[in-house]
Amino acid sequence: MIIKYSIKSTSNMSVQSIYHYNVLEKIGDGAFGEVFKGQHQYTQSMVAIKRENKNNNTKLLKNESIIYQHLKNIRGIPTLRWFGQNDTHYYLTIDLLGYSLQQVVLAHGKLPMNHVIQLMIQMLRIIQSVHNKGFIHRDLKPAHFLFNANNNEHNLYLVDFGLCKYCAIHLHKETSFVGSINYASIRAHHRLELSRKDDLESL
- The per-residue pLDDT for 2 is 42
- The per-residue pLDDT for 17 is 83
Asked if the model's pLDDT at residue 1 lies above 50, the reply is no
- The per-residue pLDDT for 13 is 43
Read off the pLDDT band of 153 (50, 70, 90).
low
Rounded CA separation 14/195 (Å): 42
Average pLDDT over residues 69-83: 96
Lowest mean pLDDT among 23-37, 44-58, 145-159: 145-159
Question: How many C-beta neighbours within 10 Å does residue 59 have?
Answer: 13
Catalytic residue list: 139
- The per-residue pLDDT for 3 is 45
Average pLDDT over residues 177-203: 92
Number of alpha carbons in the 13 Å side-chain half-sphere of residue 10: 13
Question: How many C-beta neighbours within 10 Å does residue 54 have?
Answer: 14
Rounded CA separation 160/141 (Å): 10
- The per-residue pLDDT for 170 is 66
What domains, with CATH codes, occur in the chain? 16-95 (3.30.200.20), 101-202 (1.10.510.10)
- The per-residue pLDDT for 164 is 96
Asked if the model's pLDDT at residue 163 lies above 70, the reply is yes
